[in-house]
Amino acid sequence: MATMTVLAPAKINLSLDVTGKRADGYHLLSTVMQSISMYDRVTVSLDHQQQGIILACGRAPIPADSRNTAWRAAALFCEATGLSDGIRIDIEKKIPTAAGLAGGSSDAAAVVFALNRLLPGRISHEQLFSLAAQIGADVPFCLAGGTVLCEGIGEILTPLVPWPELPVLLIKPAFGMSTPWVFSRFRMDASGRRPDQLAVLQAIAERDINLLAASTANVLESVSLAARPELAEIKNMLLAAGAAMALMSGSGPSVFGLFAHADDCLFARDWLTARLPADTIVIATQSTAAGLVTA
């Protein structure tokens, strides 16, 4: 039995703008995504004597069947390549679910990444990314990783100069947010502040955290913060604790703060942990230039 274990990182959105909407209902985006050092552990095994897909995810509150993005990723890979071997996927979840951190998408990317490594030559690099786009909007980025400008519905990727080891304080409240629900309620004419993407790209190229803070925004906050005002309070608390900027990731509810120094991030972690509800996840981490890595 051939096996590979992949560490699948979470992501945050350093900026997020909605630029339009396609006829099929998908929103067009311009967003800078950044991998962070928080990982699910995904193990993919091939069994030539079996057929079908088996997925196990421990006690994580996620489906272990065709409703799971990682399961669908394996099915699409089989369909694209003609693979008939049995596939077992074991996921050890560390990334919170329904959090705006692309945990499910990263797991799916890890599955096709591992299958492509276990079966070299079955599918080209271009086909792999095309397959990723069929699985979900965040999956192409999760396959690439690092610091990337993502456009279209997420399938048009422009790699940027990496900004590794940038201290990140991540706050995940006890509740989740549904991405389809947030997008269904988004209105272009009520989106509030929009990011200055050219300035955002300049800030990333120059590693200027103050310019990034002055130029970025996440337009989906117009929906999520209205629905859950406590997210705005968390942003304010991050700034009060010394963050250079605070922003919601994706459709929420996770909020993150960026810090100039790791010590300040750790101080803010302790300060916020003492003041937020006990069921709130508070994690000090950092950006990473790497995406998927083999364990």
pLDDT in tens, 94-129: 999 889 999 999 999 999 999 999 998 889 999 999
Q: Is residue 293 part of a domain?
A: no
Q: Which listed residue (17, 85, 107, 138) is catalytic?
A: 138
- In this prediction, residue 122 carries a pLDDT of 86
The CA-based diameter of the chain, rounded to the nearest angstrom, is 58
Specify the CATH number for the domain of residue 196: 3.30.70.890
CA angle in degrees (0–180, nearest 5) for 22-102-14: 80
| CA–CA gap between residue 121 and residue 82 (Å, rounded) | 13
- Whether residue 140 is found in the same domain as residue 234: no
Q: How many CB atoms lie within 10 A of CB 193?
A: 11
State the DSSP H helix or E strand holding residue 182, giving kind and residue range, or none if neither.
helix 179-185
Active site residue 85: no
**Co-location of 92 and 237 in the same domain:** no
Contact status, residue 255 vs residue 238, Cβ threshold 8 Å = yes
Beta carbons of 35 and 146 less than 8 angstroms apart: yes
- CA 146/CA 169 separation, integer angstroms: 18
Q: What pLDDT is recorded for position 256?
A: 99
- Per the structure, the count of domains in the chain is 2
Together in a domain, 7 and 147: yes
State whether 21 and 50 are in the same domain: yes
pLDDT the model gives residue 269? 99
Distances (CA, A) of 212 to 17, 201, 262: 14, 8, 18
* pLDDT (average), residues 51-80: 89
Global pTM value: 0.95
Q: Which long-range contacts (CB under 8 A, 24 or more apart) does 269-275 make?
A: 269/169, 271/241, 272/169, 272/171, 272/237, 272/238, 272/241, 275/237
Report the alpha-carbon distance of residue 167 to residue 71 in Å, rounded.
Answer: 33
Q: What is the mean pLDDT of the chain?
A: 95
Provide Rg for the chain, Cα atoms: 19
Give the structural domain span for 182: 167-286
Q: Which of 26-40, 187-201, 235-249 has the lowest average pLDDT? A: 187-201
DSSP lists the bridge partners of residue 63 as none
The catalytically annotated residue of 11, 93, 172, 235 is 11
Q: Judge whether 138 counts as a catalytic residue.
A: yes
